[in-house]
Structure 1
Amino acid sequence: MRRALILALACCVSACAPAVKRDPRLSSAPLAERLAAADASLGATVFSRCAACHTVTQGAGDRGGPALYGVVGRPVGRGSDRFNYTAALEAVGGVWTFERLDAWLTNPQHFAPGTNMGFAGLPDGMDRADVIRFLNENGSNLPLPVAPSPHSRPTR
């Protein structure tokens, strides 16, 4: 009985741990490499910090921040009839690309000075890549940028 309990506990603990140990150098790798290694399920876990203000379910609507379903490829500072975007974010223009989301998630105040976003950012590059992959899989489904192969990289 005790042996079965220990085995069950070990299985539960291992299920909560990340499935793959990542190379810590990935955190500062180029975005395409990070996205190729990203895990949307880990992104969902990181995104849970954002869920108090944002939704990602189709039709769920806005909360304190705009709904983010289909955000990748959507115009910056637009996309919701009910959410009042700041002039700072509207002035950025363009669309939410993978690169722009990475910059925004790094430091929203730096990306759009004057934004009301009360979030300091995600310093870990893999956390950002996981969240971006999660967001992309929730309504956008755009092709990820191609990571350069190790053979095509210039040597130093």
Structure 2
Amino acid sequence: MRGVAFLLAIAVAGLAGCADDRREERLRAAGENPDLTALLRVADASAGRRQFGRCAACHTIAAGGPNLAGPNLSGIYGKRFATGNQRFGYTAALRASGQAGRRWDAAALDAWLANPQAIVPGTSMRFAGIPDPLDRADIIALLQES
């Protein structure tokens, strides 16, 4: 049994090393009190893919992937709100919010990922948001390349 525990400890340590996203190094490179532009300069789409796990319960990101409770997000960057996925029924709250003409650029994604309810009160997206600005920047980097 001790051998199994030892092997498990090695596997966990190895996986932790695989997830090393150089977070502290990237934060230092972004500077003191970095804004979104500075964070995007150090953002890492691979780290964003890991962070996207928070989103994966409701969204897929692969091209041609299915809609779940939320729309597939492949190619969403640069598209207009509530128009990115013709197969998804966007909520009336989103369509009526005045945001429908806005594009999913870095600033819009950052605000949405921080607190969707603040952008579109009444949205059916029941997600509290991602408080960490670097985590949001990493997800944005992923969405930019998806």
TM-score normalized with structure 1 length: 0.75
Structure 2 residue aligned with 1:37, among 42, 47, 53? 42
Is the partner of 1:48 in helix, strand or coil? helix
Is the partner of 1:61 in helix, strand or coil? coil
| CA distance, structure 2, for counterparts of residue 122 and residue 53 of structure 1 | 15
1:53 partner letter = C
Deviation at 1:31, TM superposition (A): 0.9
Partner of 2:135: 127
Name the one with the larger helix percent: 2
Percent identity over the alignment is 42
Closer, same or farther: CA 26–125 of 1 in aligned 2, 3 Å: farther
**Aligned positions of 1:51-66 closer than 5 A:** 51-66=56-71
**Aligned positions of 1:139-150 closer than 5 A:** none
**Aligned positions of 1:66-145 closer than 5 A:** 66-90=71-95, 91=97, 92-93=99-100, 94-138=102-146
Is the partner of 1:21 in helix, strand or coil? helix
How many equivalent pairs are there? 132
| CA distance, structure 2, for counterparts of residue 64 and residue 100 of structure 1 | 21
| CA distance, structure 2, for counterparts of residue 45 and residue 19 of structure 1 | 13
| Structure 2: gaps (5+ residues) | 1-5
Deviation at 1:87, TM superposition (A): 2.0
